[in-house]
Structures are given as C-alpha cells and as structure tokens.
Amino acid sequence: MRGDEEPLLSLSGLLRRLEYFVAVADELHLGRAARRCGVSQPTLSHQMKVLEKELGAELLSRGSRRIALTASGKALQEEAPRLLQCTYSIKARIQQAAAESRRPIRVVFSRSGHALRQREMVAEFRERNAVPVSVESGWSERNINLVRAGQADFAFVRPPVDADDLRMSVVGDVELVKLLPGGGAADRLAGEEVSTEELPLIMWPRSLAPGLYDKVLGFVGQERSPQVAWEEPDYINVAAAVASGAGVSYMDRGIAEWMSLSADLRVRPLGPPEPRTDIAVVWRYDQDQELASRFVAACCRIGYAGNGADRGCLVR
C-alpha cells in the first residue's frame, strides 16, 4: 500500500508502527520512508526496533548501504496492509455513524399537517429523543417520492397509497365533514332559491393523493352524486370557492374548522357512522428500524391520544 493511496491516521502504538513498516517495506530506504511518514529518520529507525521487539522477530536486515526484508518482514509486508485497511474502514464507518447522528431527521408533512396534529407528533418525537428534525410539507405523492429518493427519512401520507416498496404505519385518523357556504353566501343562495345541497362538488386535484381522493368520493357517493364539477389547486382555494357560494366540498374536520376561522363557511358532520380517513407515516426498508419505531410510537401517542394509542400503530 503506497503512502499516497491512504492518508496516515493519527494512531498510536502498534498500528502507527505498522504504517511506518509498510512505508519502509515499500521504499527499502529509511530516509525516503521517513520523509513519506513525516518523521525523522532516527525516529523511524527507533520505531522499527520497537516493532521487532513487540512481534518477537527481526523484520529488517540492515546492511551498511541498504536494508532488506527478512522472511518475517516479508510475511508482515503481506499482512500489515490488510490490517491497516480494516482499520481505515472501521474509522470511516465510525465517522459516518457520527455524521449521521448529527444530521437532522428529515420529515415531510402532509400539506394539511397543521390541522392533522402532525406538528404535535414531530414535537413529541423531538422532546423524547432530543434529536434535530428538519421539516417541509407536500402532498402524498410527492412525499412518497422524496422518501424513495432518500431526500426524506419519514413522510406523512394519506392512505390508501401505492407504496409497496416502502414501510408504512397508520398513526391516526380524522373525521370527514361537509364544507358548505356560510353567512352571506348562504343567504344569497336562499334568496335565489338555490339549495346548498344542490351546489356543485369542488375538490382538489386527484393527482396529489389519488387514494384519499377516491376514498373521499366513496363517502360522498353515500350522500349525493360524487361527480366533481371542478378542482382547485389546494385546500385553501377549495375553501375560498365554497365560501363564495360556488359549491360544496368534503374534507377533514380539523382542516375544515381551521378554514372556517377566516372564511364564511359552515362545517356539517356526516353520518352516523361518521366517516374517517387515515394519517400514515412511510419510510424506506433500509431505514434504521429502531429509529423508525421511536418515530412511529411518538406519532401514535398524539394521533390516537385518548383513542387507544396502539390501535393504528401497526407497521406494514
């Protein structure tokens, strides 16, 4: 192993002397080997004598003008690089593990996370594990792709999802409600003798979360025709369209109630029985499973608080 192929490690004792020996065995010249190792020639010569004493064998035949390897030296010349390479690999793995422990856990919320207690779930994980966490948000399909690409460690999604290549655990569920125009828009429609029940259905784009979209329409079909009149780009624009009196929609209770704080909307429960939709977490199969278990457990403590904390925490 040449000195320019592997940097010298700051090792003490036997391993350092083995590095010195490899340089001497390559160069067969104490002066050149000393320069390669960054030490003085007397220091290198002393370290070779210490190594011979430690191994109980003469490694170098020292002549007046040149040095040569003894039989023991040739045997060590074959074995030392393997031992040192193993040392380099161990150090690299330790450094990588240390770097990983310092890297924030990357989490992606479902876009509706603020109303689905996802922030509280991650806060619970942070508090119990004292690890840094970075967060962003997106829709289910994008979140799944980020996890697949290794750009996120955990992502919240809205099942059902097509992600058999990932692990998944349901960590909570929420009630589905109907969103209707309120106040002035409802009065205007009444004056025009238009029933809010007859208004068109407004939804968000199916491509953002196909499984959830179809599941919601399945619930809608139990109450009215599930025909979608048009789609708005996100929940905020869906709510704005409903508030204007243009139509009605269906969404999670937490989101609907949050939207109604700043828009003229009415929230109407469905059922009984009340329809519910799931919140789940996905991660890669090569993820640290002990870390995944702790993350899922923290999410379930919040997602199912007062509801049976283990009810949905099964890993697929």
Q: pLDDT digit string (tens) for 225-234? A: 778 888 999 8
pLDDT value, residue 316: 56
pLDDT value, residue 186: 63
Give the span between the Cα atoms of 282 and 280, in whole angstroms.
7
Peptide bond into 273 cis (omega under 30): yes
SS3 179: strand
Which own/partner pairs from 110-114 qualify as long-range (CB within 8 Å, at least 24 positions apart)? 110/137, 110/138, 110/139, 110/140, 110/143, 110/156, 110/157, 110/158, 110/279, 111/137, 111/138, 111/139, 111/208, 111/234, 111/235, 112/158, 112/235, 112/251, 112/252, 112/254, 112/255, 113/137, 113/156, 114/258
Q: Do residues 25 and 84 touch, judged by C-beta distance below 8 A?
A: no
Match 């390559």 to its residue by tokens: 26
pLDDT value, residue 198: 77
Flag residues of the chain having pLDDT under 50: 1-11, 308-310, 312
Cα diameter, the chain: 114
pLDDT value, residue 133: 92
The pairing of strands 154-157 and 105-110 is parallel
pLDDT value, residue 245: 87
Give the span between the Cα atoms of 139 and 108, in whole angstroms.
9
Pick from 248, 212, 216: nearest CA to 229? 248
The pairing of strands 60-62 and 67-69 is antiparallel
Q: Is the dihedral of CA 82, 83, 84, 88 positive or negative?
A: positive
Give the span between the Cα atoms of 285 and 276, in whole angstroms.
28
pLDDT value, residue 299: 94
Distances (CA, A) of 165 to 149, 168, 175: 12, 10, 28
Written as six digits, the tokens of 107 are 């989490």
The half-sphere exposure of 56 on its side-chain side, counting CA atoms within 13 A, is 0
pLDDT value, residue 71: 94
Written as six digits, the tokens of 196 are 């809010």
pLDDT value, residue 98: 67
Pick from 168, 159, 197, 164: nearest CA to 180? 197
